Every structure is written in structure tokens, then in C-alpha cells.
Chains A and B, each alone.
Chain A
Amino acid sequence: MAPTASPKKIGIFFSHADTGRLDGLDIPRIMAFARELPDVAAVEELDPEARPDPKILAETIQRLQLTEVVIAGDTPGGHKPVFTRAMVMAGGDPELVRLASFGEVGAATGAAENSALAAVACAVHGVPFGLAVTPARVPVHPDTLVIGAGVAGIETALRIAGAGHKVHLVERAATIGGHMAMFDKTFPTLDCAACILTPKMVAAGQHENIDILNCSEVQDVGGVAGEYKVRVLRRARRVDPEACVACHACRDVCPVRVPSEFDEGIVERKAIYMAFPQAIPNSYVVDGENCLWVKSEGKKCGACVKKCPKDAIHLDEEPHSEELTVGNIVVATGFDTFDAELIERYGYGKLPNVLTALEFERLTNASGPTGGRIVTRTARRKRKTKQEEWVFDTEAPAPRSVAIIHCVGSRDQNHNPYCSRVCCMYSLKFAHLVKEKLPDAACYQFYIDMRAFGKGYEEFFERIKDEGVFVVRGRTARIEAGTDGMVIRGEDVVHDRIREFPVDMVLLAVGLEPARGAQRLAKVLDIHPGCDGWFTELNYNTDPTATNRGGIHVAGVCQGPKDIPDTVAQASAVAARVLGSIISGSVRVGRDSVSPEEAADTAARLASIKTQEEPWPSEPTHT
């Protein structure tokens, strides 16, 4: 240690945050470790119940003659202001109050306890964690695996492939594109999603460095950082994408009709189908669950095989798994939407004209079932079974009034406590589309807080209001079937009124949830899913795309809800990390491998060579 004028006396205070995320940590062990560190004069625990009182703390600091204070805990920052004040009251230097934030260094679980120890050591020496804790670099395999081929996955893949490196793009579905392919327009510029995405999809499909593994899922991951061995399950497509020329002969003869996932079930598809005309690979695929031939093990049907002019259909194709070796893995599994049926009072599933956001995206899409006409669902008798079904008929009457309800399943402790970040804006987009296509229709927005935060978003909100959309600040309570259409009841908070009026169509701005299987994937990859199921980034601020494992990155919504621009930015950000590692030929191993002792030594060394002026900038004189 560099000799200092007055003897250093450091006090360490452990705070139990209300989050309860520290349960996994062995606090006594950490405290014991802290006592052994140089210049540590006192190690105390703060009362989790009471809010610390500055006067008492000041007395403590004086009693123990502390010159420096370290607050350790899950989110110790919550106590920094009071300690800083106490320090001043005790005549100390406020700059010498430091944090050892376990949450920040991902030490929420027992597995990462070493990070917690290291964090304490770094704080004691006054050296930022990131400087002292630098996991070793290991050689990296130049290939990359991208899991999930939505806009995030495609963007990352294109960036890396564009730089001349191999990318395996694994997608669960039969086509790449993800949710964005389903959208009609994108906010706030209102340019069509297809125009933006399809070129990217085609580029990805034709890129010699991108190997698309559709109908595939990552089964398990072995190996070590820098060289992961990934086993990918390739489910049977039953149609050879190379041979298929996307003529629809097979589709026409297929007798099975099932709701189309791509169209959110508002139209039907066959058991042999192509999700949408621009699907990549541009080839048909057989849905094994519903194909008669597959279900009857070859006893029934098989009409498509006979019809196919290119003999591209092999109904007997078996799934197989493939072994890949990659240096970096990018997780871009995106999201699924909240199941609106969980909120009974909105009547989704019972009232035919209560639609979810994605259903409306399909309905209003120029390539959707009604060619983009916004119509109400009408009843129709099924030809065969004679039973009634509700369908979107191009000739059906357009809704005279549309209500859009925000925060469905979001910001609600009974469902998802978090904000889904995109709903406000896409709701405004919907309002615009309604007004554009049905100028006479009344359109209502029921919102809690209008979160128009991005570039041009607030302006878009103003524009929507100018277009004559009624924005009601208040959450709708219930939707019930009325004499003609439905009756919606909600409070108009700012006008202190209950609004109860008939509407023809209700759009539920359903929130986002981690994609199905994200938890499983987290286990397979051994990365942390956060409390809400979104993958935990290595550092909220400085490392929003890395994870606790070296060479494994997260991109896009699977890390937390975000809109397309932010997703694309993050996706490219990941590419930077991957390319960086490939170019430099090495990748850092995960932070779970931190050795606290090592970290302590490094911190001590850095502290001693640290220049006299404080490492962080002081308050600027300008502005």
C-alpha cells in the first residue's frame, strides 16, 4: 500500500436491501472476508427494518474515527446519500464513501458469491470493479451461433456475416423474421414493417456466411468459453427447401385446415404451408402435429407428395440433431405476448371483437386476410360441421368505434409488474391506422401514463390527438356484451367521470413476456434469467448485452422489452462484441470464474499505482 498521511480507517456497512435477492449469499462469510482486508477498521450490519439516521451514523463514524466508508449490499446506493451526509457531519470527506454493489456485479445468487467478495475488496481499495476484475482471455472460435431469427437475430447475423465471419442462425419456426414480420406499420415513421424487414431477411437468406437452421432448437451446450459445443435439434421440415419452388400445388390438395400461427389464428392454413409469401427459406413446410400422413404413420393421405412437381416433400423425414462448434453465442429469443384470456373482465376469447395487438396487426396488414380492411368479426356457419365460427369477412361492416386499452397484463402486480415499453406507442400507431382507414370511426385510448419517450414519439402522440383520437387517462375496468356491439366501462380520471359507452371493437395492448422456453434455454446456457424472466445482463449500465458467461451475449427483447430501434441498436452492439473478440482472436471467460483473492491483489496494486488526483472527474466548471 502507498503510505498515506493520516492512517486510513475504513468502515464497511452491510445493508440488506428490500429486494431479498441476497438470500443466495453467505453474508457472514463476506463480512469475515471484509474484516481481513487492509485498513478495515470496522465491519457492521445495518438494521434492515429502520432507515439509517444521519446523526447516528455520524456518531458511529466519529466513534470509530473512520476516514472512509464502504456500503456493501444488493443495491447499497440507496444508502449512499445518508452516509455521504453523515460523513460530512462527522467532518469527513464525502468523496470517500464508496459502494460495493452485489446486484451490479451480478452477485445475486450464491454461484456468484466470489463477485460479491471481489466487489467488497475493490470498494475498499477504491478501484472500480471493472478495472480490478478482468477475467482471463482465451482463444475464440471464429464461428458464431445466433439463437432466434427475429429482427435482432437477423441484424446481429448480418453484421457478423457482413464482416466475413460464419454465423449459424437457429430459428424455432419454419421461417426467419420473428414477430416483426407480422407487423403492418412501424411507429412513429409508419413505414411498413415488410419493407424494412424483408430485404434484411432476403439478405440473410442469401448470405454465404449465414447458415440458417430453421425448425431447430438448441438442445444443449457443452465446451468452454471460446469454444462451445452446441447440439441443435433439427425438427423435420418434411419439405426440402432447396428443391421447393413455392408453387402452391401441395397446399391446394392438403385436406387439413388449422389456424395460422403467423396470422394469429384469424385465418386458417393447411397442414403443409408457408407462413407468408416472403418466408425465408422460401419453401413450404409440413406441420407434423396436424398432417394426416404423419399422424397416421403413412396410412392416410399423402396427397401433397403425389402433387409435388419437384418431389420436394418427404413426409417420412425424421428429426436429427447437429453438432456445432462456436466461439460466441448470441441469444435473441425475443418475446411472446401476454395471454389476454387471463384477464376475464376484458372478455377476450368470449367477445369476438376484442382483439389482441398482434391480431389487429394481421387484420390491418395489407397482406392480411382482409387486404388491410379493418372490419368486425362476423359469424358464419362452417361448411362441413355446420357449427358457427367467427371470421373476418372482407365485406363485413367496419367498426364505428374502436377502443384501445393500454397496459393489458403490464404494470399490474396481478400479472406482469413491469412496463412492456412498446404498448403505448403501438397503441397510438393503431389509433392512427384506424383513423386513416376509417376516418368516421371514433377511436379511444385508455391509458395510465403515455410513454412516448423515443425520437419523434411525443410528436407522434400529438399528431394522433390532432387526428381526433380521444385519449382517456384511465384504465378500463371491464368490457361486456351490449345490445349492439360491446359496452366498455372505465374511469376518465382527469375528468373524474365514469365513461360507459358502446364500442364495436376493442384492441388490447397486450404486454410482452419472455419467449416460451426462455427459462429452459437459460438452464442450457447457464445464464441468469432475471426476476421477471428476462435474461440478466452483466452490468445494467456498462454491459447491457454481455452475460455472466464469457462469449454468451443477449440481444433484443429477450433482455428486456424494447422497441425496434433499440433492438436493432442492441443487436449491432452484440455484433461489436463478437467481432471484437474474433478480430482480437480472444474472448474473456465468464465473471463466475472470478477469484476474490486475485481481485483483491489487483485492486491493491492498481490503488497503489493510482495517480494522486482522483480517478473520476470532479464537477466540471462549465455549463
Chain B
Amino acid sequence: MEFEPTIVGFLCNWCSYTGADLAGTARIKHRPNLRVIRVMCSGRVDPTFVMQAFASGADGVMICGCHPGDCHYLEGNDKAYRRFQLLKRLMVSYGIEKQRLRLEWVSASEGERFARLVDTMTAELKELGPLELPPDLSLEPGTHPDAPVVREVTHG
């Protein structure tokens, strides 16, 4: 049967999760491949979460936060953005295609946008095929002993 990618989505509680709900209330149909995990802020998304998701079988990860400047916590999404940049480089070094990780801004009124994002990413991942895990990450679940330590770039 046709490959159906599984995407783990980290949605911030204030904008993106609300936006996803709006997609629901407005009955905007989209692909069922996303599994949503609610976090208070996109800034909460720990790089290990993403790596963990890949490790335990996710074909892609989508992080959604408030639009720049809209963050409920002032600048959490900026933090997320900087981490995202680091993460991408990291992934590549682990041999994971960087298309498998996405950071998107979805506001509470952008149900439509959210739905389209899910569809496009699903389509992309279908193109890409299942994630072939590099051996050193395919350990049993739980944080990797020498899990990458991502240094935070402090603000300003």
C-alpha cells in the first residue's frame, strides 16, 4: 500500500493550536498525517523532542508558533526560530533531510493556512519516502546518551 508519512506537530497553545481548532470548526479538510502535540510556546520545543520524534518513527516534524511579534511570551518564537536553524544543521549532520523539519507561523485565524501546510508537508514527505534512520539514532526510546547538546544563543 502507499506510504503514509507520519508527522509530529508541536503547536503553540496560543496561536497555532487555536488556528488548528479553527480549521476544525470551519471544517477545512486536510491530510490526516499530522499528530499534534500541544506546547505552551514554540519556544518550549526542546531539540531533543524533535530528535526523539524522528528516533521513534516520525517521518517529519512541524513546529508551529505565533507570527513574529505576536508571541504570547514576547519572544519565544524567536528562540524557536534560532533553535530551528541550529537543529536543521544538526539533522543534516545526522543524515536527515532538512525538509523533514518545518517551522511555520500560524495565527489563531489561519485555519485555512494550517490545513494547507499539513497537506503540502505530507505531499513533500511522500515524495521523500520513509525516514531512513542513521544507525546511531536507532536506539531504544529515551534520550540518547550522547544526545547533541545544542548551545543556546543568548538574546541580544
Are A and B bound to each other?
A: yes
Using a CB–CB cutoff of 8 Å, the interface residues on chain A facing chain B are 184, 189, 191-195, 198-199, 246, 277-278, 365-367, 371-372
Chain A: minimal CB distance from B120 (Å) = 16
Closest to B70 in A: A191
Question: Complex Cα distance A198/B110, Å?
Answer: 14
Stretch of B14-22, B51-59, B88-96 on the interface side: B14-22
Contacts of A199 in B (CB 8 A): 14
From B14, B66, B110, A366 is in contact (CB under 8 Å) with B110
A-B contact pairs, 7 of them (CB 8 A): A191-B67, A191-B69, A192-B109, A193-B109, A195-B107, A198-B108, A366-B111
Closest Cβ of chain B: how far from A177's Cβ, in Å? 13
The chain B residue with its CB closest to the CB of A184 is B109
Bound Cα distance from A193 to B107, whole angstroms: 10
Contacts A277-B26, A278-B25, A367-B22; is A195 near B108 (CB within 8 Å)? Answer: yes
What would 4 more interface pairs be, CB under 8 Å, given A192-B109, A195-B107?
A184-B109, A191-B70, A195-B109, A366-B112
Q: How far is the CB of B9 from chain A (nearest CB, A)?
A: 19
**With known contacts A189-B69, A277-B26, A367-B26, A195–B111 Cβ distance under 8 A:** no
Q: Answer whether residue B113 sits at the interface, using C-beta atoms and an 8 A cutoff.
A: yes
> How far does the alpha carbon of A366 sit from the alpha carbon of B22 in the complex, in Å?
11
B23 to chain A, nearest CB (A): 10
Q: Which of A193, A194, A372 has the most CB of B within 10 A?
A: A194
B66 partner residues in chain A, CB cutoff 8 A: 195
> What is the minimal beta-carbon distance from B118 to any residue of chain A, in angstroms?
16
A194 to B70, CA, bound (A): 12
A195-B14, A277-B22, A278-B25 known; A367 and B69 CB under 8 Å? no
Are A278 and B14 closer than 8 Å at their CB atoms? no
Chain B residues with Cβ under 8 A from A365's Cβ?
109
B108 contacts across to A, CB distance below 8 A: 192, 194-195, 198
Which residues of B lie under 8 Å from residue A372 when comparing CB positions?
Answer: 112
Closest chain A residue to B67, Cβ basis: A191
Chain B residues in contact with chain A, CB under 8 A?
A: 14-15, 18, 22, 25-26, 66-67, 69-70, 107-113
A194 closest partner in B (C-beta): B109
Asked whether, in the complex, the Cβ of B112 is within 8 Å of the Cβ of A277, the reply is: no
Q: Which residues of A contact B70 (CB under 8 A)?
A: 191-192, 195
A278 to B19, CA, bound (A): 11
Q: A195 touching B25 by the CB < 8 A rule?
A: no
Residue with the highest number of chain A CB atoms closer than 10 Å, among B18, B25, B112: B25
Q: A198-B18, A277-B22, A277-B25 are in contact. Are A192 and B112 (CB under 8 A)?
A: no
Q: Shortest distance in angstroms between B55's beta carbon and chain A's nearest beta carbon?
A: 34
The 6 closest A-B CB pairs, nearest first, are A277-B25, A195-B108, A194-B109, A366-B109, A192-B109, A371-B112
CB neighbours (8 Å) of A195 from chain B are 14-15, 18, 66, 70, 107-109
Chain A neighbourhood of B26, CB < 8 A: 277, 367
**What residues on B are CB-neighbors of A184 within 8 Å?**
109
Chain B hits for A193, CB < 8 A: 109
Q: Which residue of A lies closest to B116 (CB)?
A: A371
User: For A199, A246, A367, A372, which residue has the most chain B Cβ atoms within 10 angstroms?
Assistant: A367
Residues of chain A within 8 A (CB-CB) of B69 are: 189, 191
Q: A191-B69, A191-B70 are in contact. Are A366 and B113 (CB under 8 A)?
A: yes
CB of A248, distance to nearest CB on chain B (Å): 8
Q: How far is the CA of A198 from the CA of B69 in the complex (A)?
A: 18
* B28 (CB) vs chain A CBs: closest residue: A371
Residues on B with C-beta less than 8 A from A246 are 25
Q: For the complex, what is the distance from the CA of A372 to the CA of B111, rounded to whole Å?
A: 11
B107 and A367 contact, CB distance less than 8 A: no
How many Å from the CB of B41 to the closest CB on chain A? Answer: 14
B113 cross-chain contacts in A, Cβ below 8 A: 366
Known A191-B69, A277-B22; contact A367-B111, beta-carbon cutoff 8 A: yes
Q: Is the CB of B14 within 8 A of A367?
A: no
Q: How distant is the Cα of A199 from the Cα of B67 in the complex, in angstroms?
A: 17
From residue A136, how far is it (CB to closest CB) to chain B in Å?
46
CA distance A81 to B67 in the complex (A): 54
Asked if B22 contacts A278 (CB within 8 A), the reply is: yes
Q: Which of A195, A365, A367 has the most CB of B within 10 A?
A: A195
**Bound CA–CA A372/B110 (angstroms):** 9
Complex Cα gap A191–B14 (Å)? 13
Complex: how many Å from CA A366 to CA B19? 11
Closest B-chain residue to A365, C-beta based? Answer: B109
- Residues of B within 8 Å of A277, CB to CB, are 22, 25-26
B110 proximity list for chain A (CB < 8 A):
366
Minimum CB distance partner of A366 in chain B: B109
B112 to chain A, nearest CB (A): 5
Q: Which of B14, B110, B113 has the most CB of A within 10 A?
A: B110
B74 to chain A, nearest CB (A): 13
In the complex, the chain B residue whose C-beta lies closest to that of A202 is B18
Does B22 contact A192, Cβ atoms closer than 8 Å? no
Q: How far in angstroms is the closest Cβ of chain B from A406?
A: 26
CB distance from A581 to the nearest CB of B (A): 33
Q: How far is the CA of A277 from the CA of B70 in the complex (A)?
A: 22
| Contact residue among A189, A192, A278, A371 (Cβ-Cβ distance under 8 Å from B107) | A192
Chain A residues with Cβ below 8 Å from B112 are 366-367, 371-372
CA distance A192 to B19 in the complex (A): 12
Complex CA gap A199/B72 in Å reads: 11
Separation of A194 and B107 alpha carbons in the complex (Å): 9
Bound-complex Cα distance A184 to B107 (A): 11
Residues on B with C-beta less than 8 A from A189 are 69
A366 to B69, CA, bound (A): 19
Min distance, Cβ B152 to any Cβ of chain A, angstroms: 26
Which of A192, A198, A246 has the most B CB atoms < 10 Å from its CB?
A: A192
Which residues of chain A come closer than 8 Å to B67, judged between CB atoms? Answer: 191
A380 to nearest B CB, angstroms? Answer: 22
Using Cβ atoms and an 8 Å threshold, which residues of chain A touch B18? Answer: 195, 198
A191 to B70, alpha carbons, bound, how many Å? 6
Whose C-beta in chain A lies nearest to the C-beta of B111?
A367
Closest CB in chain B relative to A293 CB, distance in Å: 26
Chain B residue with minimal CB distance to A191?
B70
Distance from B84 Cβ to chain A, minimum over Cβ atoms (Å): 22
- B79 CB to nearest A CB, Å: 19
- Looking across the interface, which residue of chain B has its beta carbon closest to that of A371? B112
Query: What residues on B are CB-neighbors of A371 within 8 Å?
Result: 112
The docked-state distance in angstroms from the alpha carbon of A365 to that of B109 is 8
A412 vs chain B, min Cβ distance (A) = 34
Nearest-neighbour CB distance to chain A for B122, whole angstroms, equals 20
Q: In whole angstroms, what is the CA distance A189 to B68 when docked?
A: 11
State the Cβ distance, A623 to closest chain B Cβ, in Å: 34
Q: In this complex, what residue of A is CB-closest to B15?
A: A195
Chain A's nearest CB lies how many Å from the CB of B50?
Answer: 26
Q: How far is the CB of B155 from chain A (nearest CB, A)?
A: 21
Q: Please, which residue of chain B has its CB at the minimum distance from the CB of A246?
A: B25
Closest to A276 in B: B25
CA of A576 to CA of B112, assembled, Å: 40
